[in-house]
Amino acid sequence: MSQITFNDVSCTLGKFELININAIINSGEFFVLLGPTGAGKTILLEAIAGFHTITGSIMIGDKDITDLVPEKRNIGFGFQDYTLFPHLTVEENIRFGLKYRNISSAQADRRVRELIAISKLEGFEQRKPDTLSGGERQRVTLARALVIQPEVLLLDEPLSALDEQTKEVLRDEIHRIISTFNVTTIYVTHDQTEAAMLGDRIGIMMKGCMIQVGTPTEIFYQPVNEEVAAFVGMENILEGLVTSSEEGITTINVNGSNLHVISTYDTQKTKTVRVCLRPEDIILSQTAVKTSARNLIKGTVTRLSPYGTLIRVQVDCGYPLTVIISRRSMEDLHLEVGSVVYASFKASTVHML
């Protein structure tokens, strides 16, 4: 269990690159690297594992590993595509790394058995990887990486090839297994749900840069810029002019309608600002109900579209708002295109970019 430190890590690899990555992953932390495809997340993992030449330095604990060969780094790596050795059985796969550790075969046996038990792989020991389901293979991959007692565990989109149901079960499983070992983990994904559910902290990567590092709440409610906001599902990004800022409430005029934000703003500065708001933080009602929400605005439904099991509602309130509600709410509100609704949201849910 060790802290990982990135100092000005840069790397170019064909059309992918890493640009000046600086970050600290705390000891024992479950850190999620979140970003769109091609952002450089996998390269960063592979750089930690030692597969690419980098500039800058990477430390694990107080040891500089920048120039170490991969086999000397003591890192557990779970790859996205199954990289189980197809010619070896499940047990031989898990045991593979122990051959290169200075331990007796009795100790090795014990560790392999322990990992098989924790990963719930009893009965699969003598099977070959190609006879396993996707979820089982990922558990073997994880066991194989953890059996060597790595200082750091790196997982590259371990769930991306699985169906939704398996994904959910395995997500919890991975979390449970990893917490037994209390190992510093970096988990790469492009899936916000996974990131939100697993991460102690999240790092947002885009175009080779680490744009924001923070707790899930910070990432999902206080994105640092419009790109991050859009990526983490802040579907409402609005531009307006600051008209006043007093007693911690800033009022912004968006297309003629006032919007209140909990924030102090220096009105001497440029008055054009952008704010963002999550679609699930907006409540729709048929009448102008008085609630504690400071923002209440009348609008017309312009579009209804299914969003998984939910419904995405587009409302024109002078400015466009996207709202996500349940199917039941839609029926209760008798929503259809052209319906007049009231949208309300708290001033605290609006984030100024």
Task: List interacting residues with other proteins (CB under 8 A).
Answer: 46, 49-51, 69-71, 73, 75-77, 79, 81, 83, 85-87, 96-97, 99-101, 144-145, 148
Are 323 and 312 contacting, i.e. CB atoms less than 8 angstroms apart?
yes
Task: Name the minimum Å distance from CB 23 to other proteins.
Answer: 21
Nearer to other proteins, 11 or 276 (CB): 11
Are 158 and 80 contacting, i.e. CB atoms less than 8 angstroms apart?
yes
Task: Name the minimum Å distance from CB 136 to other proteins.
Answer: 17
Task: Name the minimum Å distance from CB 37 to other proteins.
Answer: 17
52's tokens: 């690419």
Are 317 and 299 contacting, i.e. CB atoms less than 8 angstroms apart?
yes
4's tokens: 């990982």
Residue carrying structure tokens 């970019």: 353
Task: Name the minimum Å distance from CB 93 to other proteins.
Answer: 10
DSSP 190-233: S-HHHHHHH-SEEEEEETTEEEEEE-HHHHHHS-SSHHHHHHTT
Nearer to other proteins, 30 or 79 (CB): 79
Nearer to other proteins, 101 or 327 (CB): 101
The torsion angles phi and psi of 312, rounded to 5 degrees, stand at -100, 125
Nearer to other proteins, 153 or 323 (CB): 153
Task: Name the minimum Å distance from CB 79 to other proteins.
Answer: 5
Nearer to other proteins, 140 or 343 (CB): 140
Nearer to other proteins, 94 or 242 (CB): 94
Task: Name the minimum Å distance from CB 72 to other proteins.
Answer: 8
Strands in 236-246's sheet, in edge-to-edge order, are 257-262, 249-254, 236-246, 272-277, 351-352
Helix (H/G/I), strand (E/B), else coil: 306: strand
